[in-house]
Amino acid sequence: MKRPLYHYFMIGAVVLYLFVPILATLIYSFATQWHKTILPEGLTLGWYRDLFGDVRFLEALGRSLLLSFSATALGLVVMVPTIFSIVLYAPKLEKFIQMLIVMTYAMPGVIIAVGLIRAYSGSRIPMILVTVGAYFVGILPYMYQGTRNSLRNIHAESLMEAAEMLGASRFTAFSKVIIPNILSGIIVSSLLSFSILFGEFVLVNLLAGGHFETIQTYLYQKLNTSGHIASAIVVCYFLLICVLSTIIVRVTRSKKGGGGR
């Protein structure tokens, strides 16, 4: 197909806009000195060495992973069976779930944080558990979408009926037939949720503040002390997002292609 030049220009402009800040950060994280010159004065791996030598960073990384992982796992264990049950056996409740999702859109991090502080600060529930709970609510839209679509794709209702006709209980049918078939779909939703939570700053900063330093709050501290180390953190963060996205794309592709296992 013949394409006018301006289509290339349009895409080029968007890609450039999105790419340049990432590239600059990448270069900055390898630069020895870069204050007065246009190109960095020298290249070094020193900032990464410093970063990974910093116990505080490693701890923050560990906390971030733990926090995002527990919230995602909780979402997986609780939401998938719930959404399954509602879609198949209580379709009237689906409207309610959709209302909850609209509510999460109308209540971004800052708002929900105010409410959570109001409700739980000073209570016996540790704020870090409250953060996990808030994350659980936050990933509902992604888990719902992913689970719902997977269930629709495999015609879950007739699979359940077939399994029941063959003598399986509902629980057996769910675990032996439904779960293996929606696995790739819910893995994608989980990875998506995980990567969103991993980049979350507002809730964990407002709720747990200085008591629970994650990679995002650590980065915020470093912004004002060392730009080079901060950019090294950003690069690491972006790399992790890249890895997660690659896995998501792979899993989605293999599902679409329907190739062998």
Task: Show the binding pattern over residues 206-235: x = contacts other proteins (CB under 8 A), - = does not.
Answer: x--x------x--xx--x---x--xx-xx-
Token pair of 78 as six digits: 């609780």
Binding residues among 117-136 for other proteins as defined by CB under 8 A: 117-120, 130, 133-134, 136
85 binds other proteins (CB under 8 A): yes
Give the Cα separation of 183 and 45 in Å (integer): 40
Give the Cα separation of 111 and 250 in Å (integer): 36
In 3D space, the residue among 195, 179, 215 whose CA is nearest the CA of residue 69 turns out to be: 195
76 binds other proteins (CB under 8 A): no
Contact by Cβ (8 Å): 76, 194 = no
186 binds other proteins (CB under 8 A): no
Give the Cα separation of 99 and 107 in Å (integer): 12
Contact by Cβ (8 Å): 41, 257 = no
Span of 44-52, 53-61, 144-152, 237-245 interacting with other proteins by CB under 8 A: 237-245
172 binds other proteins (CB under 8 A): yes
Could you tell me the smallest distance in angstroms from the CB atom of residue 62 to other proteins? 19
Could you tell me the smallest distance in angstroms from the CB atom of residue 50 to other proteins? 17
Could you tell me the smallest distance in angstroms from the CB atom of residue 114 to other proteins? 4
